[in-house]
Amino acid sequence: MTDATPVIEIHNLHKAYGTLEVIKGVDITAHRGDVISLIGSSGSGKSTILRCINLLEDSQQGDIIFKGEPVRWRGEGLGRHPADPKQVMRIRTNLSMVFQQFNLWAHLTILENVMEAPVTVLGRDRAEAEKAARAYLDKVGIGDKCDAWPAQLSGGQQQRAAIARALAMEPEALLFDEPTSALDPELEQEVVRVIKDLAAEGRTMMIVTHDMRMAADVSDHVIFLHQGLVEEEGPPDALFGQPKSERLQQFLSSTMAA
């Protein structure tokens, strides 16, 4: 991959659940170092797009291309599935996803949570993985919580542990699915600070968020989704400062007032 090759490309993506089509032909391109935020009301398809990119959901039409390599498919429509399990694993390990509900393993310490995938999926040496895991936990500000269990941490600390776990895979891009929506405002800011630091490092990120301030602060590009389509997109200054779409104006008016 050259620097000009996008890390993630989706073209004409369609996703349906039975007869309900939730993504109706979406195009998104993320180059190395891009931070792209997906915004929109509940049900607009934001999280579904992330899950399709990470191949956690099967899409029915369109191309998903990772570092210039198209996902290979078999079947059509609702019967379409990835054709190569090894390709799926390779893409997933390079697109680390951070979920709304943390998804930490309750029976492992925070350090073990961060070490687990590098050891079991990537085959890393345990001592090397532990050293890296401690460094990533320091990076997100909870290095002192290595030996704690997930239940002993606040929501903000658990989410930061989940981010450290994602970073430990040393992915090409990070996918955040509403990373702060399960947190109260004070704990939310802990996580926002970490995401801002990662953006400042030039990491490639795609963020589904309800936090318009964070989207404005960290993004290079913002995409507003409405009813499964891109209603409007552009740099944050333009999208938040001079929205063209009447639907986006309504959305921002209600969101900013909340």
239 domain residue, yes or no: yes
Q: Which residue type, as a one-letter code, is found at position 172? A: E
154 domain residue, yes or no: no
Position 2 scores a pLDDT of 54
142-155 residue pLDDT tens:
999 999 999 999 99
Grade residue 189 by pLDDT with cuts at 50, 70 and 90. confident
Long-range CB pairs of 143-147, under 8 A, 24+ apart, other chains included:
145/110, 146/109, 146/110, 146/111, 147/109, 147/110, 147/111
129 domain residue, yes or no: no
Grade residue 186 by pLDDT with cuts at 50, 70 and 90. confident
62 domain residue, yes or no: yes
Q: What percent of the chain shows pLDDT beyond 70?
A: 98
pTM of the model: 0.92
Residues pairing with 52 in the sheet:
none
Closest C-alpha among 224, 228, 227, 229 to residue 244 = 224
Tokens representing 188 are 């939310």
Beta strands in the chain (DSSP E): 8-17, 20-30, 35-39, 61-66, 69-70, 73-74, 81-82, 95-98, 173-177, 205-208, 221-226, 229-234
Give the chain's domain count: 1
146 domain residue, yes or no: no
Structural domain containing residue 85: 8-96+173-257
Q: Which residue type, as a one-letter code, is found at position 32? A: R
At residue 29, the 3 state secondary structure works out as: strand
Does the CA dihedral 206-210-211-212 come out positive or negative? Answer: positive
**Rounded to the nearest 5 degrees, what angle is found at the Cα of 220, between the Cα atoms of 114 and 27?**
90
Which CATH number does the domain housing residue 180 bear? 3.40.50.300
Position 55 scores a pLDDT of 96
Grade residue 181 by pLDDT with cuts at 50, 70 and 90. confident
Looking only at the bridges linking them, the beta strands covering 229-234 and 221-226 are: antiparallel
Distance CA 77, CA 248 (A): 31
121 domain residue, yes or no: no
178 domain residue, yes or no: yes
23-32 residue pLDDT tens:
999 999 999 9
80-134 residue pLDDT tens:
999 999 999 999 999 999 988 888 999 999 999 999 999 999 999 999 999 999 9
68 domain residue, yes or no: yes
